[in-house]
Structure formats: structure tokens, C-alpha cells
Amino acid sequence: MNFLRQLWTKSEAAHLRLGKWGEQQAEHFLKHKGLKMLGRRVRVGAHDEIDLLARDGNVLVVVEVKTRSQEGMHAPRKAVHKEKKRNLTRAGTRYAKRLTPRPEALRFDIVEVIGAPGKGSPVIRHHPSAFGLSKGWRF
């Protein structure tokens, strides 16, 4: 049992490292596209976290980063399910309401990063305006 626990902990640590690496790749990619980065892993409230937060002009951009080591694995864009969209909507609207001046609009993007550290250049796909505000929320 102890051996299995060690394996699980090591794989979890590798998963977290891959996620952090993917967020760094996505941040660099978005900066290159002209977005102004406001933060990485931004906590909003007790339960919500935004992977990347940026501005595109006067639009606040909430970015969900999905990192996969291989192309054939579960489609990263499909991994943002209804509950995740609701949580991102809640986090984004709460964060935007605290800003002075308030942004003109709120946008939700998904960035797919496919690759791994030390394995060449990753494949990065940016899906701007991947989804809108969840039902019941307004900005």
C-alpha cells in the first residue's frame, strides 16, 4: 500500500509540474499576441482560481489553460465542462467588479498546450471567446 501511495504522489507531482509548465507556455504565447498579463493562478474567493488573467485593450480576459502531454489524449477544449464554465464565470465577474475602472467586457478564452518540458516546442491552440457567461450571471 505504501508503494502505491508513493506512485500516486509522484504521478500527481508530475501532473502539477506539467500544468505549471503549460501555464507558462500559454502566458508567453498570449504576451506575444499582445495581451497584457495581470496574473497567474489568481484566487478569487474561497474556492475559485483563474489560471491566467489578462487584458486585451479594455476587455478583461479569463484564460483557462488545458495542458496535455500528447495530442491523442482527451481533448483539452472539451475538458471545460458546464460546472467549470460556471465557476470561471463566477470568478471572472467577481474579479471584474473589483476593478477601477471596470473593463468594458469580459471574455473567456481557452488555451490548449500540447507537449511536455524538454520535448521540443509545444503545440498551442488559442480559442478566444470559447464560451460566454453562464446562465444566471451578468456583467
Domain assignment present for residue 136? The answer is: no
CA separation, residue 111 to residues 65, 125, 137 (Å): 5, 6, 23
Domain assignment present for residue 138? The answer is: no
| Number of domains the chain contains | 1
Q: Which pLDDT score is estimated for 5?
A: 52
| Global confidence as pTM | 0.85
Q: What share of the chain is helix, strand, coil (3-state, %, to 5)?
A: 35, 35, 30
Q: Which domain holds residue 26?
A: 2-131
Domain assignment present for residue 139? The answer is: no
Domain assignment present for residue 95? The answer is: yes
Residue by residue, pLDDT tens for the chain (139 residues) are 555 455 455 555 777 788 899 999 999 999 999 999 999 999 998 889 999 999 999 999 999 999 988 877 666 667 888 999 999 999 999 999 999 889 999 999 999 999 999 888 999 999 999 998 876 666 6
Assign residue 34 the CATH number of its domain. 3.40.1350.10
Q: Which of 39, 45, 46, 47 is nearest to 65 (CA)?
A: 39
Q: Which pLDDT score is estimated for 122?
A: 94
What is the Cα–Cα distance from 51 to 49, expressed in whole angstroms? 6
What is the Cα–Cα distance from 113 to 77, expressed in whole angstroms? 10
Q: Which pLDDT score is estimated for 9?
A: 56
